Amino acid sequence: MSDTCKLSLAPQSIDSAEPAAKAVLEKARAAVGFIPNMYAGMVNSPGLLDTYLHGYALFRSESGFSPQEQEVVFLTISHENACSYCMAAHSTLADMKMGVPAEVTDAIRDGGEIPDAKLAALSRFTRSMVQSRGNPTDGDMRAFLDAGFSERHALEVILAIAVKTISNYSNHLFHTEVDEMFAGRRWPG
């Protein structure tokens, strides 16, 4: 990212933020227990971080995807958008909290074949949605449905793409430093 622009807005903390941003950071800390570096930059636009947090929570709670499937979706989008921060963060979550087999996470990180057929179909569909800007082929959709997913799941992939686009693009603009807790899964590794 050396040739890309970098925003000069300072990261915000609960102590330094203006009231609207402070309220969003407090909400974020209540949800995850700390203020990730990503949130400290994004909160320079309180609406941006609040929208991200809301969409993220809805995807996690109402998408109908298992926690492992959710991480496959988030990792695939972040890989397609080349977001080093989100790849490290979601790889760590996949490994430590969501029970995603390491060979699945590593396959997504390396652009390789996912050994689980259903998760591979989910990743392929997600990738096709990102690459086609929401215009998958009939074959893409059929393979997704044949793997056991529903048309509603396709809509939930759109929600995940929206959420990850917010975070991935923000991280690109800020060149967000990976938090220490995610450093063991830096990407590219």
Q: Check residue 142 and give its pLDDT.
A: 98
Asked if 85 and 100 touch (Cβ cutoff 8 Å), the reply is: no
Q: What range does the domain containing 83 cover?
A: 65-185
Do 69 and 58 belong to one domain?
no
2 confidence band (pLDDT: 50, 70, 90): low
CATH code (residue 39):
1.20.5
What digits encode the pLDDT tens for the residues 53-109? 999 999 999 999 999 999 999 999 999 999 999 999 999 999 999 999 999 999 999
- Predicted TM-score (pTM) of the model is 0.96
How far is Cα 69 from Cα 182, in angstroms, rounded to an integer?
A: 20
The total number of structural domains in the chain stands at 2
Give a yes or no: residue 123 inside a domain: yes
How far is Cα 34 from Cα 56, in angstroms, rounded to an integer?
A: 16
How far is Cα 113 from Cα 135, in angstroms, rounded to an integer?
A: 23
Among 24, 44, 62, identify where a domain stops.
62
